[in-house]
A and B are shown apart, each in its own frame.
Chain A
Amino acid sequence: MNPAFSVILLTTLTGAAQGLFLALFGCELAHALNLSAPTPGHDFYVVGALISLALSGAGLIASFFHLGRPERAWRSAAMWRTSWLSREVIVLPAFMATTALYGLSHAMDWPLTLATGAIGAVLALALFVCTGMIYACLKFLQEWASPLTVVNYLVLGCASGLTLASAYAALSAAELMTMMTSLAIALTLLGLVTRSASLLRNARLRPRSSLQTAIGIHHPRIAQRSQGLMGGSFNTREFFHHRTLQFLRSVKWTFLLLAFVLPVLLLAAGAATTSSPLLWLAFAVQYTGLLAERWYFFAQANHPQNLYYQTIS
């Protein structure tokens, strides 16, 4: 597929926002359950919810750039019974509204912050499932059609959110920093495991469609001589990244380094030296790595329609 920058931004920004919200709610829950967690003040939650809201808002804005007709975007909530995209369109604003309410409840010192947070956490998790399932439900895009797609959206979103939470905690609630960084390191390492699992799975995929099944002629040697057009078309632009294999491979190693290896080192260094700039750097590096990771996720998927568009002449 040809990666669209709007979708890359949408999924990475909202992923970090959801992860950060889950970190905030986790803090409050741990405190409520008397898990001897340190208690930050209300301000920590208010500013944290604002950061999460800003990130998911930016993701929502980015998503509009993917649409040919953004003025009709309001229609897209209609088919929630069948379409994961429609479900995402409903859950994302609901998550943002709950995040806003959560921040407001803390700012106003209203009761029931824990209940609001619980609803927000459920919505954050549901949003991860919706986003992942948009891709995982397309069964003939074999690189995507796996539970690992959903798992990766969840784990990588949480990892980046917790790295952000560590950097934020180092600034405003230093007593939380150790817990946050260790969780961020754990999730980043888990992300490395699950993302590597999907890379291994995709490397071993055997495409189920071939030129033989595509045109229904069962001769072992078929070569396309003309694809029915001399210039480009929607089919040649939308479903192929037009990059070399070497470029693809370099993006893979880049994202493995930037999204997982370097952030773990920076998080550990930041926690050891209680240095907030190092933790912010960890988030910046990890986010850049996740942009590359998402680009690779799209570029790697090989759409069977490409079988029909092999040769111009």
Chain B
Amino acid sequence: MTQLALVIDLNVCVGCQACVTSCKSWNTSGTAGSLADLNPYDEDPTGTFFNRVQTFEVGSYPNTETVHFPKSCLHCEDPPCVPVCPTGASYKRAEDGIVLVDYDKCIGCKYCSWACPYGVRELDPERKEMTKCTLCVDRIYNEALPERDRKPACVLACPTSARIFGDVHDPDSSASKAIRERGGYQLMPEWGTEPSNHYLPRRKTEMTIRPDEIVRTDNPLKVDGLKPMPDASTPALDDAASW
């Protein structure tokens, strides 16, 4: 059984928001319909986004690290938003595990957004329908696109390749390998929703410097311990000769 998902590498995300704008751009002009942008240039701008990058500061000054944290629908294995939907508009696809909203059935009761602990569903203020990340379902199967472009818009936009897209149930996929080899984890495991999207933890980066990296052993001017220039204390030509 396929379960498509994103694996997000917190070690390399630089918080550039490229995935956010790319997601908004693709999805507001795609088959799913527009995503509202109210008062974009006035006070109180608001709008619908499927994907946000948040920033956290970990530790206390001066020993802090900035963690950029992208968050979109996690496409849970056991999504709590699906059983509560009274109309069946919210559903999980059996064939690839993507959680979707049938916009034509949604009555805008917001109950599914209450049932999602991650806050990744948004009621569009103009359409009055519940919207959410579709994993770009209209891209990844689109045969009009070249094969290498059949990925979610956020994945293609990421300049640091912080996002890996793939089948997390297939042990040979790059997504599964990354989870396995780098300790990929799920958000809020305490609620048993089994999110399919995983996050790769940050890694400690340490620099090991060997002495021969500072002092080049093959430096021709250092051969036999000879210094390339005479000491300041040794007499110079000017001292030795009077002109």
Interface residues of A (CB under 8 A from B): 1, 66-70, 72-73, 75-79, 82-86, 89, 134, 137-141, 208-209, 211, 213-217, 219, 221-235, 238-239, 303-306, 308-309
Contacts and interface: CB of A to CB of B under 8 A. Distances in A.
B107 A70 contact: yes
A217 B202 CA distance: 9
6 contacts: A66-B110, A68-B128, A79-B86, A215-B69, A215-B199, A228-B54
B113 A225 contact: no
B40 to A, nearest CB: 9
Given A217-B67, A224-B54, A224-B55, A76 B86 contact: yes
B145 interface: no
Contact of B122 (A83, A231, A234): A234
Contact of B84 (A68, A70, A82, A235): A82
Interface string B184-201: 011111110000000101
Interface string B71-112: 100000000101111111100000000000000011111110
Nearest to B128: A68
A144 to B, nearest CB: 10
Interface string B107-132: 11111011111110011010111000
B59 A233 contact: no
Contacts of A138: 80, 84, 114-115
Given A219-B59, A221-B59, A229-B49, A82 B83 contact: yes
B44 A231 contact: yes
Contact of B85 (A72, A79, A221): A79
Contact of B188 (A73, A141, A214, A233): A214
Contact of B191 (A139, A216, A224, A235): A139
Given A139-B191, A215-B69, A305-B117, A226 B55 contact: yes
B45 interface: yes
Given A140-B191, A231-B46, 11 more contacts: A68-B128, A79-B83, A79-B85, A138-B80, A138-B84, A215-B67, A216-B201, A225-B57, A233-B122, A308-B54, A309-B119
A308 B84 contact: no
Contacts of B48: 234
A23 to B, nearest CB: 30
B52 interface: yes
B47 A77 contact: no
A68 B124 CA distance: 9
B129 A69 contact: yes
Contacts of A229: 49, 52
B208 interface: no
* Band of interface residues on B: 35 or more
Q: Find the residue from A66, A70, A83, A213 having the highest chain B CB count within 10 A.
A: A83
A77 B85 CA distance: 10
Contact of B189 (A78, A213, A228): A213
B58 interface: yes
A95 to B, nearest CB: 17
Contact of A83 (B52, B83, B185): B83
Interface of B: 20, 39, 44-49, 52-60, 66-67, 69, 71, 80, 82-89, 105-111, 113-119, 122-123, 125, 127-129, 185-191, 199, 201-202
A308 B119 CA distance: 8
A226 B54 contact: yes
B64 to A, nearest CB: 9
Nearest to B103: A69
Given A216-B201, A225-B57, A68 B119 contact: no
B87 A75 contact: yes
Nearest to A75: B87
B188 A235 contact: no
Contacts of B109: 66-68, 76, 85
A227 B54 contact: yes
Q: Find the residue from B88, B108, B109, B123 having the highest chain A CB count within 10 A.
A: B109
Nearest to A141: B114
Nearest to B190: A208
A222 B57 contact: yes
B190 to A, nearest CB: 5
A83 B82 CA distance: 9
A209 B199 contact: no
B49 to A, nearest CB: 7
A212 to B, nearest CB: 10
Nearest to B200: A216
